[in-house]
Amino acid sequence: SRSSTQQSSAADLLVVANRLPVDQVVEADGSTSWRPSPGGLVSALAPVMRRNQGAWIGWPGNAGEEMEPFEEDGLTLVPVALSEEEVAEFYEGFSNDTLWPLYHDLAAKPSFHREWWDSYVRVNQRFADAAAANAAEGATVWVQDYQLQLVPAMLRELRPDLRIGFYLHIPFPPAELFSQLPWRRQILEGLLGADLVGFQLSGAAQNFVRLVRQRVGHKTHRDTVYLPDGRVVRARAFPISIDTEGFEELAASEEVQARAAEIRRDLGNPRTLFLGIDRLDYTKGIHARLRAFSELIADGHLDVEDAVFVQVATPSRERVDQYRQLRDDIDQLVGRVNGDLGRIGRPAISYLHSSFPREEMAALYRAADVMVVTPFRDGMNLVAKEYVACRLDGDGALVLSEFAGAADELRQAYLVNPYDINGMKATMLEASRAQPKEVARRMRAMRKTVSEHDVSHWASTFLTSLAGDPESHTKQTHP
């Protein structure tokens, strides 16, 4: 039962993700070029898929016409086109103004619109059709993230021969929040099309199994869901990670070391360089962290002559209202803080609204004494792990929100509650004044974690689990 869509390639391993690993950019003169896509999902999966010569199905990042599949760096890329309206309703709307805030503990108020849902269904079907058309007989298809939760069931309907995995990169909310969603049952049934549903944390997997029992009425036991047709679905945690070796090599390069020294020099060789690097997103807690820092200066605990906060905020989802509002709020805070507390050549906050290549990130990580990662809620947060990987000398302090998935593994970070400004102030100060021995002890333990559990470990654990479990292979229904 192949789909009627034309078969353009036949891969044994396919990733289906909302974004391709590269984004198409249209210049003012109409010419086009490609650049790496933003976000943790792409940075985690791209190295794994390059090594596996798989096919990657995804959206090129702007509204446009259909495009032929093409090869890039050992990967077959299969573009899925979205119209202007679908970008507004499926991507900016349902994905990023309904699901995103709902799945992140209501960090903003989610909007529920029926037309957005209709668009979500249509676009998910398009991704499922593309996967069905490009998968070899018996292939493994790995569907990614909250934008595509209906794809597993749609794909199973078209291609029962496939092994289907799903991985959610963001948190999966507790039943009390998820249940607000008017389409909660359809989402659960969409995910149940997979053989294995992966989450960052075991609590998320438990939330999912509990919801399936309550809302869909299937039998469950621990991590397993028993469907009426005899098929079983497993829900497990697979904490994602980074290309640790890649970052270590980058950080060790002469160019990056020289650039790190240059950054410190350009900032006036401060005694303490605090660093934040985030997508400009209201879940990241950027505003609260900059406020905490500025109060430390205003209170006299830190001095702009020897402390500076470098905040990189990568532009993101700029047409969604709440993101626009956030940008204005941060602009205003940074302006006020620097106006009130800065001196000539010594801003309190050095704010960069821009995205940088990996080399520049590695140099910033190397240059920073205290990395500050304070999301209100975050699936994992790879920036925290990247910082650890780049600290080749074993120094550097990590201040980390206990509400980031990474806090489960990086127990030796300076953990904070991002809602508690005074607590953050105290911990940022403690981290900046800690004895080098204490900082090194913590960093050593975290470096061990990040080097033992890198992204290829993550991918192979997931894929082995998906391939294994023979009793969970698709069963025929017996009348």
Binding site for ligand G6P (CB under 6 A): 18-19, 38-41, 96, 145, 169-170, 316-317
Beta carbon nearer to ligand G6P, 148 or 192: 148
Nearest distance in Å: CB 390, ligand G6P: 20
Rounded CA separation 138/162 (Å): 5
Tell me the C-alpha to C-alpha distance, in Å, between residue 439 and each of 128, 412, 477: 48, 9, 58
Which of 133, 111, 123, 138 has the alpha carbon at shortest distance from 190? 123
Beta carbon nearer to ligand G6P, 39 or 239: 39
Beta carbon nearer to ligand G6P, 19 or 159: 19
Beta carbon nearer to ligand G6P, 317 or 447: 317
Nearest distance in Å: CB 284, ligand G6P: 11
With beta carbons less than 8 A apart as the criterion, state whether 349 and 276 touch: no
**What DSSP letter does each residue of 307-335 carry, written as one string?**
EEEEEEEE---TTSHHHHHHHHHHHHHHH
Nearest distance in Å: CB 18, ligand G6P: 6
Nearest distance in Å: CB 417, ligand G6P: 23
Beta carbon nearer to ligand G6P, 316 or 338: 316
What does R_g of the chain's alpha carbons equal in angstroms?
23
Residue recorded with tokens 């597993």: 152
Which of 98, 97, 26 has the alpha carbon at shortest distance from 62? 26
Beta carbon nearer to ligand G6P, 46 or 431: 46
With beta carbons less than 8 A apart as the criterion, state whether 232 and 472 touch: yes
Nearest distance in Å: CB 430, ligand G6P: 30
* DSSP 8-state assignment for residue 300: T
Beta carbon nearer to ligand G6P, 293 or 323: 323
Residue nearest to ligand G6P (CB): 39
With beta carbons less than 8 A apart as the criterion, state whether 443 and 395 touch: yes
Nearest distance in Å: CB 38, ligand G6P: 5
Residue recorded with tokens 């390639």: 9
Rounded CA separation 279/450 (Å): 22
Q: At 288, list the tokens.
A: 């609260």
Nearest distance in Å: CB 95, ligand G6P: 7
